[in-house]
Amino acid sequence: MALPPAPPAPTVRRSDHTDTYHGQVVTDPYRWLEDADSPETRAFVEAQNTRTRRVLGALPERAKLLERLGELWDFPRRSAVWQEGGAFFQLRNSGLQNQFVLYTMDSPTDEGWVLLDPNALSQDGTVALSGLAVSRDASRLAYAVSQGGSDWQEWRVRDVSSGQDLPDVLPDSKFSGASWLPDGSGFFYARYDRPEDGQRLSGANLNQRLWLHRLDTGQDADELILERPDQPEWGFGSTVTEDGQWLIINVWKGTARQNLIWVRPIGENGAFQEVVAEFGASFQFVGNEGSRLYFLTDDHAPLGRLISHDLQTGERQDIVPEGQHRLLGAELISGGFVLHTLEDASSRLTLVDRHGQNARSVPLPGLGTVDALNGHSDSHEIFLSFTSFLFPATGYRLDAADGSLTPVWAPELAADLGGYEVRQEFAASADGTRVPLFIVARRNLTLDGSHPTLLYGYGGFDVSLTPAFDVSRLAWLEAGGVLAVANLRGGGEYGERWHRAGTRERKQNVFDDFAACARFLVTRGYTSPPHLGIEGGSNGGLLVGATLTQHPELIGAAVAHVGVMDLLRFQRFTIGWAWVSDYGSSDDAQDFAVLRAYSPLHNLTPLAYPPTLLTTGDHDDRVVPAHSYKFAAELQRVQQGEAPILLRVQTQAGHGAGKPTRLVLEEKADVYAFLLSALS
């Protein structure tokens, strides 16, 4: 099959707008598309969507894929269990519910009862849970809801025993959790000033403040705990230690894996003790024994180490020194720690005592990902979830006393996974760097280069792409497709050096790694360029855009979701300034030269590009939709071939988090139908 002929792309007005960066004039003819709510922009979106619906709706496989995706998706799913105050909690989805439902139980295996169903909060399923915090005695639940995929949150409070909400309603929060006072009388949370009308997409999110909200009071009575008007980019996360003694403040600045740690006793209003006083490394609070705090850090240890810090003496000690593999997480439990490491992008678990000694490995079901570790410092019981490409997320209970791992709950999937296998291969990048990629395909696949293959990547912000089950990918595999997931530099698979090797002036390494993986798939016979599709979202959308402009000859189709396409202006909008740590900024002359060299929007030239599908949400307040709008308009203008360049805009939607199941299924059907038609 092949993509049907597409109607001509809509004519898009080009203005004569220019900007001057460090003496260099750069045109920006689609600047007007940055105004997401203007009548002209709305008309642009409608014209693009009309054309895209016409093309995708005519694909013969789309209806079958949508039906099959619905069948595959319709199986029960559950998160890992967690415990608080003698009660147990879990998120569940019966199959096709738009949002996961929060349950509370008397035991880890109890069916329990519904505590909070966000599906009842809106008729169209677009209200999602974006934060949860249970008080120490499990009597109160603080929960945050977000509308239409927005990062903006509104905190509310529910009585656990009655299931009824209290009057407390706290809007204007963003990038914040909640941390309860030991007696449950209130909680800490962070918020920004409310944006002015029309500024939710165009204004920058700065000057976050940390507040203490006490129950049964209005938001205007909240106590200001922290603000730093002299440091508008700083944000504040809070943790109350399990013993109720200390308030731990995590001071963050953008997305850099560097932070400060401030501490003071609960109930005091004096100065904070600066445990980490300079931005230079990552310090993740793990737990405490009185005045002895434990941190996971990459300070002088790019792969991570576990340390202790004594608040009384200031003494620091190594508990678990840096090893050969990335130390990704640690959980403080009775008598010791559970360590989570990554070895070639898959999880390993190890039990050690409080001195980091007497290590015992925990046997996992296979090569995959531990995506939750929920325990307490006074218990040897840990709840976790394990998943892999061909292993749906399954809940387990780990008993640290004997190291046993037992299932708590396993999903029943109405699909046969036995006919597929996972391989891990390694490609050589342009500079010789060994780049891992996982390949999922039918067993005994004939390597003749004929298979439609989807290569997925991200490569940024210390994010690790570890093996995980995505039921929608079964539809791709069942249709004869091959899936490849690349572990690129810029991610976190091999620690901070690996991350930094894909940032700022080294960002080109990420694109070189991805191109190397594409060539590897071709040379090994999995596929050939006409049958190779690439996909990525957000920073991964940038990856797709850069690959499209640098190596169009390598690929047969491209799909970019909510991509960062304008690298000269990303820092001007919402939280975009926070990405400077990975990208640099066009405000700096040296950074500008680097960004201009790979910015997808600024490197499009007239030639025959492969079929391309760009997706975004018209109210994405993280990567604003103008990135995709401007890139689509220019790519359509310079396209010299017959292949369609399509823009799919989900209205009343954001970056993707909390997207209702019905919208996810429709988008997946569009993407897979587009790729199968383009690559077969």
Contacts 24+ apart (CB under 8 A), 346-351: 346/466, 346/467, 347/386, 347/466, 349/384, 349/398, 351/400, 351/403
DSSP assignments along 160-214, one per residue: TTT--EEEEEEEEEES---EE-TTSSEEEEEE-PPPPTT-TTTSB----EEEEEE
* Number of helices and strands in the chain (H, E): 10, 39
CB atoms closer than 10 angstroms to residue 15: 12
Q: Is 478 exposed, middle or buried (0-12, 13-18, 19+ CB in 10 A)?
A: middle
Residue 571's φ and ψ, nearest 5 degrees, are -75, -5
Place of tokens 């599709």: 533
Distance CA 335, CA 346 (A): 26
Distance CA 557, CA 452 (A): 10
- Sign (positive or negative) of CA dihedral 457, 371, 304, 585: positive
List the catalytic residues: 538, 655
Bridge-partner residues for 406, per DSSP? 397
- Sign (positive or negative) of CA dihedral 259, 263, 267, 270: negative
Are 151 and 655 in contact by the 8 Å Cβ rule? The answer is yes
CB atoms closer than 10 angstroms to residue 300: 9
Cα–Cα–Cα angle for 312, 313, 316, rounded to 5 degrees:
115
Distance CA 124, CA 564 (A): 28
DSSP state of 607: B
What letter represents residue 105's amino acid? M
Cα–Cα–Cα angle for 487, 613, 53, rounded to 5 degrees:
145
Are 140 and 160 in contact by the 8 Å Cβ rule? The answer is yes
The Cβ-side half-sphere exposure at 603, using a 13 Å CA radius, reads 22
Q: What is the CA radius of gyration of the chain?
A: 25
Are 509 and 431 in contact by the 8 Å Cβ rule? The answer is yes
Are 157 and 215 in contact by the 8 Å Cβ rule? The answer is yes
DSSP state of 651: T
Distance CA 204, CA 62 (A): 39
Distance CA 248, CA 257 (A): 17
Burial 588-620 (b: 16+ CB within 10 A, else e): eeebbebbbebbbbbebeeeebbbbbbbbbbbb
